[in-house]
Amino acid sequence: MNSKKQLVKGIDVSDTTLEEQKTLNSFYLREIGQPADFRESPDLSEYFFIEEIEDRWNAYEASRLAMQDYPTNAEDFLSWYNKLHMAHRKIVAPFFTRLAEHSTLEELTFYIAMENEVDGRFDDVISLAQLGMTGDMKLALAENYWDEMGMGSLEEMHTVLFTASAEKLRGIAGLSSEKIQVPSAALKNGNLLLMYALRRKYHPRLLGTLAILEHTAPYRFAKTVQAMRRLGIPEDVIYYHDMHIQVDANHGKQLIERVLMTLAKDNPDIIPELCIGCLVRYNVAVDYYNSVEAEMDKITLQKEKEY
């Protein structure tokens, strides 16, 4: 844990540790476990410990947000959001340029494995995001969810496709899942979605997070596909990633136009929460890509030592 600590309203806002993020991840997966695993569902007494970690993590993320006046109306919110989207593209561009143009097979495989940490339960996150919604907003997320479900085809379900793609890529690279160490920032990247989805008080933040995640996805997938084709990866492994260049472009558009803007117009007081969701996702994503790049460097260095 970081040695420098702050207290905000009595909460320690130092960053969470890898072990704490592992604890959160395990807990969240038990909360949304399969029906047959009902006996593994968390007991009420466990939530107090989890809430302490979550409160500290959220206080830490809040401490990283620059002091600013959030938009107060839908028009200003859209302008604010578009500027954040452009800033996000600019700050992650060096990582994705490296991935597309210079990554080794092992580095690419590690990145895909980390992406699977997020995508593994993404369909459940989208289903939870719909709770409590009505009207066209609910339809927008339902359409997103139906895409995640492969539009009714088990073989086309996105989690199935991604898991198969990641497994095939690990086989090609000769990189076993046991050798892949997940950094704390990668766990955060997935845990943020699960925490926001499972804690109803963060529902607006989840929607902001989902919007910027889906809106920035086509660029990430395009660069990933470029890397895969450069390295001669079979098309059946590339299929999932190539498909999402168009699919997520539509998801991002629908989330912004039919969900975020509707909320901003009808309930302007919700705008700060939407903004916080976008900003926290921005920071967590930047940390994530930095951590993945650091691990990619280690993988390459280790491979060079072996030769």
The ranges assigned to domains in the chain are 1-64, 70-306
pLDDT at 271: 97
pLDDT beneath 70, residues of the chain = 1-13, 118-120, 177-179, 307
The pTM for the full model equals 0.91
CA 166 to chain centre: 17
The pLDDT tens digits for 11-30 are 566 789 999 999 999 999 99
pLDDT at 134: 94
pLDDT at 3: 39
The position carrying tokens 């993404």 is 122
**Domain spanning 70-306: CATH 1.20.910.10:** yes
Q: How far apart are CA 117 and CA 182, in angstroms?
A: 9
pLDDT at 105: 94
Angle between helices 105-119 and 158-173 (to 10 degrees): 150
61 Cβ neighbours under 8 A, 6+ residues apart: 280, 283, 284
Whether the CB-CB separation of 180 and 113 falls below 8 Å is answered with yes
Q: How far apart are CA 50 and CA 20, in angstroms?
A: 9
Q: How far apart are CA 37 and CA 14, in angstroms?
A: 34
pLDDT at 56: 95
pLDDT at 301: 82
CA torsion, ordered 161, 218, 91, 1, to nearest 10 deg: -30
pLDDT at 121: 86
pLDDT at 266: 96
pLDDT at 28: 96
